[in-house]
Amino acid sequence: MTRRIVDDIIILEEFASITTEPVQKELRERQVVFVPHRAFTTYVDYASIEDEFTVPLFGNRGLLRVEERTSERNQYQLLQRAGIRTPKRISSPREIDRPVIVKVQEAGRKTERAFFTANSYSEFKKTSERKIKEGLIRSEDLEGAVIEELVVGTLFNFNYFYSPLTGEAEFLGIDRRLQTNLNDFVSLPARQQLEMDVEIQNVEIGHTPATIRESMLEKVLDIGEKFVKAVKGDYGIGPIGPFALQGAVTVGLDIVIFDVSPRVPGSPILATTSPYSKYYFGHVVGTGRRIAMEIKNGIKTRRLSELVT
């Protein structure tokens, strides 16, 4: 079974060791085209990725940094320039005057964020102090937390693929995230929820497939194309390969985007369930297969240099 997934395995003591010269030399000798993912950008700092990791990287290397909301060039700025609607940001906890979601780094795991909601400054203070005391978040991380208006709507992760070889932004499909322990807790009757003293967390643990009503597809395609155009305007090249826009559709049928994945978005369910890639290619194509198709086509047409940075 492993041979269908992995040809060779390189075991490292820690993920950050991938930037050491012996490991990079081995990757280059094997003619590796490296596909970045969330763990890579979490455990290897962006400066090292941009300046020290000299293995050909599939995608727009400089774009990876925008995933961090607090960086100088961030996803909020990019979405704004693209003309894509985003939640209103609250600049200070004392200015909370509506339901908000607080996005703060989880203390124990670098790949997870310990989101929580609040309706007022007093509730923000009470909840954050409790989470700090319980070790779920750290006070220094809370200082850099992002506070956004809580968008009430149906959640969707829209998955796209931009091909420099064709110049087209393709819509691969939709997934929704399964989160523990939030998903199953909210399925309990309200009376039981009120009686239980449970710390709610939303740690992503899985995926489910989804579709969207056909009348919304034009809007979905439009925001994908707008994002590609904005990236080209800022970086001179498009996103290159897969990216995802995570958001909600409101009762007024507006799409509000609150997160960007400028790399492989972690949506394996697309490989088996997306009707949209089947409409486009004649068969279902997941993110991994679409990357392989692009690289093979780049080699065949001698345009691989347009796909790596």
Paired sense of beta strands 146-149 and 100-103, if any? antiparallel
21 lies in some domain: yes
> What is the pTM (predicted TM-score) of this model?
0.92
Both 175 and 37 in one domain: the answer is no
Which pLDDT score is estimated for 111? Answer: 59
**Cis peptide leading into residue 181 (ω within 30°):** yes
Q: Phi and psi at residue 160, in whole multiples of 5°?
A: -125, 170
Residue 133 parent element (H or E): helix 121-133
Which pLDDT score is estimated for 194? Answer: 77
CA distance 225 to 240: 13
Both 197 and 208 in one domain: the answer is yes
Domain's final residue, options 122, 149, 176: 149
235: left (phi over 0), alpha (psi -120 to 50) or beta: alpha
> pLDDT class for 5, splitting at 50, 70, 90?
confident
Residue 109 vs residue 212, higher pLDDT: 212
Which pLDDT score is estimated for 4? Answer: 74
Which pLDDT score is estimated for 206? Answer: 86
Both 266 and 231 in one domain: the answer is yes
Q: Is 224 exposed, middle or buried (0-12, 13-18, 19+ CB in 10 A)?
A: buried
Structural domains of the chain, count: 3
Both 81 and 98 in one domain: the answer is no
192 lies in some domain: yes
Residue 215 vs residue 69, higher pLDDT: 215
Both 232 and 273 in one domain: the answer is yes
Both 163 and 233 in one domain: the answer is yes
Both 176 and 259 in one domain: the answer is yes
Residues 38/228/69/105 CA torsion (nearest 10 deg): -30
The arithmetic mean of pLDDT across residues 163-189, rounded, is 88
Full residue range of the structural domain in which residue 96 is found: 89-149
72 lies in some domain: no
